[in-house]
Structure 1
Amino acid sequence: MQTEQTNLPGGTAAIVVTYNRRALLVQCLERLLAQTLPLERIYVIDNASTDGTPDVIPDHERIEYLRLPDNLGGAYGFSRGVEHALAASHAYLWLMDDDCLPEPDAHLELLRHRDDSEVLCSAVVARDGRYDLHQRRSFDAVRLREFELPASSYEQPGAAVDLFTFVSVLLRTDVVRRAGLPVDDYFFMYDDSEYALRLLKLGITARLIPSSRVWHHGSAGSPSPRAPYNPLKHYYNTRNQLIVYRQYGTSAPWYLLRFSVKTAGAFIRLAQHRELNRRSASLAAQALRDALKGRPYVRQFAPS
């Protein structure tokens, strides 16, 4: 294995976006520093955390801490982190959230398959030990439907991935320069899907590498408990998904159908869970209006 590692290219920079989860960030950084194939650099992008995150950043020569003045969401954090990393001469960028816990060989296993694609995705393992299949999906551009990759895709490397989350994705730097920065005005939700489809439009197909495993604290397992109503997720999930579908869909009639279904669903789910009120209905309507206009921006939310 030592000979193989010596022959592998170096130059990978990890980009970790964090916000108010310092305990998880500490574990993530410990795992990154312990990779069997060492990383060249670890960039920590802090979205103006208020929980004392700066105090837990290790004083390590390979860690660079970048604190943003405001919290503009994970989308802005990844865009800013990628932009910052591109100023250096890294060969690869490895994107992840602060609640990702890579296994020791996760980086090594990705680079072992570097000839499979310019974009490689780790297998995401939920807290209950099962694969979180939703993290890697296929996409029907006509009917605007998403499908989780089947469990059988995790038995051999190389399954095509149309849609991925930024939960352990390795991108070759020259591809990033060609595709541009991730969108920075989605706040969160579907910014990574937009980037995956942008790459696909350029003829770049991401591949799943099951031997590279990352435990994800944010993946509760199956079945996942229903989260309480969150106005940010309610707004951004509705708006951003419809904007992405409009941009990368290939059938106007199917888009109109999906828009109608999303509109009905946005209000029906609120009613089902007894969360339909003037504020939530107004927020859903605004998300739909912004999606029709193709208008992504970082919305300011008043305290509840």
Structure 2
Amino acid sequence: MSAFDPASATIAIVTYNRSGLLTRLLGSIVSMDPKPGHVVIIDNASTDDTGDVVESFRDKIGAELVYRRMETNTGGSGGFSEGMRVAHEIGSTWIWLMDDDVEVIPDGLAKMGKWAPRFQSIQGRRYDYDGSEFYWQYRVAEPLGIPIPFAPAGFDASGYKEMNSGCFEGMFIHRDIVSRIGLPDPRFFIYWDDQLYGWLASRQTTSVIVDEFVLRRTREIKQWDMGIRHMNASSNAYRYYIMRNRAYIKHYYRELGVYRPVPFAIGTALTFGKELIRLFFVERTVRGTSNLFRGLRDGGKISRDRSWKPMPPLTS
């Protein structure tokens, strides 16, 4: 591939009623060197001053700013699908996806661009809210359809590790891969969408996580310190979609001929058990289990839908 041109990159941000966090992220983009050619902001029908905040940065962000306000809240999944669509439509070669609760390291784009001539699906590293190194589960146990929590965190002299997952908090992907696998699936609403999308990308190209710190998380989340790893607090909505959306993964697996009923059912059971542990030990409550069962019930209906189709490829 040819040398990386920062102007060919677009940062696509999804935000919802967090104008304070968005202000911090946009401020970090102002300080970037080099800057991307475009910044696309997808506003999931916020009711705060998000629109005013975006306009206040238009003349100082140093890139062409594209603002899209959705008519309804489409969740992170719908927001990132729309952000990817807009970025692809305006001709971006590289698309860098971000939530609104991160900020960019000033030379982050240069660090990602260093790997762009070699790979087409790249994940950088993140600092956590407290400045520590954030561990992300970059490998998926494919038959189970769940992340591997003990995948090695260290890097060798190559500076990268192959991955078969993805995270929309920092996914850096080439438009050719997006064209082949289509847009992220908005039907997920939240959860599993980025893991599935990264897995789809890894079937088209060598996907990697690189030893480059390019983002910093700016929102503190309640955690249970397990020593080697942390487990974050969740919400009733997350619990519901975690279980419901297993059905969408099952559909994609079936479509691509990798679905194995018994291992996948084990993965679903392990996911259910993990969410119970999260409830009991992180949030210290037993309330919320009904959302897990509702998710399983509705997921069963989705998995029996014979009319279901995957997201279609895009044309360049």
Q: TM-score range by the shorter chain?
A: 0.7 to 0.9
Please give the alpha-carbon distance, in whole angstroms, between the structure 2 residues aligned to 1:225 and 1:158: 25
Partner residue of 2:291 out of 262, 283, 286: 283
CA–CA distance in structure 2, aligned partners of residues 271 and 34 of structure 1: 42
Deviation at 1:189, TM superposition (A): 1.0
The C-alpha deviation readout for 1:62-110, integer Å capped at 9, x for no partner, is 2121111111111101111111222212111110011111111111111
Residue in structure 2 matching 1:32, options 24, 29, 33:
29
Q: 1:172 aligns with which of 171, 174, 178?
A: 174
Are 2:262 and 1:231 equivalent residues in the alignment? no
Match among 268, 292, 297 for residue 300 of structure 2: 292
- Identity of paired residues, percent? 23
Q: 2:20 aligns with which of 17, 20, 23?
A: 23
1:81 is aligned to 83
Distance in 1 of aligned mates of 2:297 and 2:206: 32
CA contact (8 A) 1:37 1:107 kept: yes
Contact in 1 for aligned 2:125/2:210 (Cα 8 Å): yes
- Counterpart of 2:50? 53
- The one-letter amino acid paired with 1:239 is R
Equivalent in 5, 8, 16 of residue 4 of structure 2:
8
Q: Give the counterpart letter for 1:127 in structure 2.
A: Y
Supply the AA of the counterpart residue of 2:244.
R
1:255 aligns with 2:264: yes
User: Which segment drifts farther, 204-213 or 78-87?
Assistant: 204-213
Letter in 1 for 2:295: A
For the residues of structure 2 that align with 1:265 and 1:120, how far apart are their CA atoms? 28
d(CA) in 1 for partners of 2:78 and 2:98?
A: 13
The residue number in structure 2 matching 1:107 is 109
CA contact (8 A) 1:22 1:56 kept: yes
1:197 to 183, 199, 202: 199
Query: Per-residue displacement from partner, 1:129-157 (whole Å, max 9, x unpaired)?
Result: 222212x4211213444224422138752
SS class of match (1:43): strand
Q: Deviations over 1:145-171 (max 9, x none)?
A: 422442213875221122221111111
How far, CA to CA, are the matches of 2:94 and 2:215 in structure 1? Answer: 18
Superposed displacement of residue 120, structure 1: 1.1
The one-letter amino acid paired with 2:218 is: H
Count of equivalent residues: 285
SS in 2 for 1:48: coil
> Which sits farther off after the overlay, 25-34 or 251-260?
251-260
SS of 1:159's equivalent in the other structure is: strand
Q: Which runs of 5+ in 2 are unaligned?
A: 309-316
Q: Distance in 2 between matches of 1:269 and 1:110?
A: 33
Amino acid in structure 2 at the alignment position of 1:237 = I
Q: Is the counterpart of residue 244 in structure 1 residue 246 in structure 2?
A: no
Partner of 2:313: none
Out of 38, 41, 44, which is 2:38 matched to?
A: 41
Hey, what's the Cα distance between the residues in 2 that align with 1:171 and 1:62?
Answer: 19
Aligned to 1:142, the other structure's residue is in SS state coil
Structure 1 stretch 183-192 or stretch 253-262: which is displaced more? Answer: 253-262
Describe the shift of the 1:72–1:251 C-alpha distance in structure 2 as closer, same or farther (beyond 3 A): same
The residue number in structure 2 matching 1:215 is: 216
Cα 1:145–1:71 shift into 2, 3 Å: closer
Between the aligned partners of 2:212 and 2:44, the Cα distance in structure 1 is 31
Task: Quote the RMSD (CA, aligned, Å).
Answer: 2.7
Structure 1 stretch displaced more, 74-83 or 239-248: 239-248
Q: Is 145-154 or 169-178 further displaced after alignment?
A: 145-154
- Checking the alignment, whether the CA contact within 8 Å between 1:95 and 1:166 is kept in structure 2 is yes
TM superposition shift of 1:275: 2.9
Whole-Å separation in 2 of the counterparts to 1:154 and 1:187:
36
- Is the Cα contact below 8 Å between 2:78 and 2:189 reproduced in 1? yes
Distance 2:260 2:277 in 1: 26
Q: Structure 1, unaligned stretches of length 5 or more?
A: 1-6, 298-304
- For the residues of structure 1 that align with 2:197 and 2:138, how far apart are their CA atoms? 13
Q: Report if aligned partners of 1:165, 1:192 keep a CA contact under 8 Å in 2.
A: yes
Pairing 1:117–2:119 present: yes
